[in-house]
Amino acid sequence: MQYKQVGKDHFIYIEKNEKVMDTLTRFCIDKGISNAKLSGIGAVKETEIGAYDTIKKEYIRKEYSDILELVVLREI
């Protein structure tokens, strides 16, 4: 991971084969960030995508082993 801080903003480059959520979680812990707004684009592989089913009150998850284009990642 590489990052640059500009004012209060952090620009993060996640290296190939790094796990997105693990990397972001570690970064936030290291920097003392308890909440954030984020956005991103790029490609992911061997990923799990999920959505919350408001009727069943549970997450629906699906795993993908292919390389996928992450068109937009916003406010997770």
Give the DSSP H or E segment for 31. Answer: helix 20-31
Q: Which domain holds residue 46?
A: 38-76
Give the pLDDT of residue 76: 53
Does the pLDDT of residue 58 top 90, yes or no? yes
**Does residue 25 share a domain with residue 52?**
no
Give the pLDDT of residue 70: 85
Give the pLDDT of residue 74: 73
**Does residue 49 share a domain with residue 16?**
no
Q: How many whole angstroms separate alpha carbon 35 and alpha carbon 29?
A: 10
Total number of domains in the chain: 2
CA dihedral (33, 8, 10, 36) in degrees, to 10, reads 40
**Does residue 28 share a domain with residue 10?**
yes
Give the pLDDT of residue 75: 64
Give the pLDDT of residue 3: 96
Give the pLDDT of residue 9: 94
**Does residue 50 share a domain with residue 29?**
no
**Does residue 23 share a domain with residue 56?**
no
Does the pLDDT of residue 25 top 90, yes or no? yes
**Does residue 44 share a domain with residue 75?**
yes
